[in-house]
Amino acid sequence: MAVREYQHFIDNDWRAVRTGAFIARENPATGETIARFAEGDASDVEVAVVSARRAFDAGPWPRMSAQERAAVLFGLADLLEAELQRLTDIEIAEVGKPRRFVEGDIGAAVAYTRHAAGMAAQAHGQVFTNLGPDKTGLVIREPVGVVGVIVPWNFPIEIMAKKVPFALASGCTVVVKPSEMTSGTALEFARLAAKAGLPKGVLNVVTGRGLEVGEQIVRHPGVNMVSFTGSSAVGRRIIAASAETTKRVTLELGGKAANIVFDDANLDDALQGTLKSIFAFQGQCCVAGSRLLLQEGIAETFAQRLLAHTAKLKLGDPRLRETDLGSMISAPHTDKVMGYVKRAARQSEPLIGGEAMAPAAGLTGNFVQPTIFGDVAMDSELFTEEVFGPVLAITRFKTNEEAIDLANATRYGLANSLWTQSLATSLTCSRRLKSGIVWVNTALDGAPQLPFGGTKGSGFGRELGEAGFEDFTEPKTVILATAHYAPAFPGAAQ
CA-to-CA distance for 384 and 327, rounded, in angstroms? 24
DSSP 3-state of 20? coil
Q: Answer whether 135's CB lies under 8 Å from 480's CB.
A: yes
User: Rounded distance, CA 201 to CA 10, Å?
Assistant: 6
Q: What CA–CA distance (Å, rounded) separates 378 from 403?
A: 12
Catalytic residue from among 39, 91, 215, 252: 252
286 is catalytic: yes
Q: What angle do CA 227, 418, 297 make, to 5 degrees?
A: 150
**What is the number of other CB atoms lying within 10 angstroms of the CB of residue 122?**
13
Cα distances (angstroms) measured from residue 58 to each of 15, 63, 447 = 22, 9, 35
Contact yes or no for 149/164 (Cβ under 8 A): yes
Strand-pair category, 13-15 with 8-10 = antiparallel
Beta strands in 362-404 (DSSP E): 367-368, 371-373, 391-397
3-state secondary structure of 258: strand
Q: Is 285 a catalytic residue?
A: no
Helix (H, G, I), strand (E, B) or coil at 466: helix
CA gap 100, 71 in Å, rounded:
30
286, 386, 429, 463: the active-site residue: 286
Alpha carbon 47 to its chain centroid, in Å, reads: 26
Residues recognised as catalytic: 252, 286
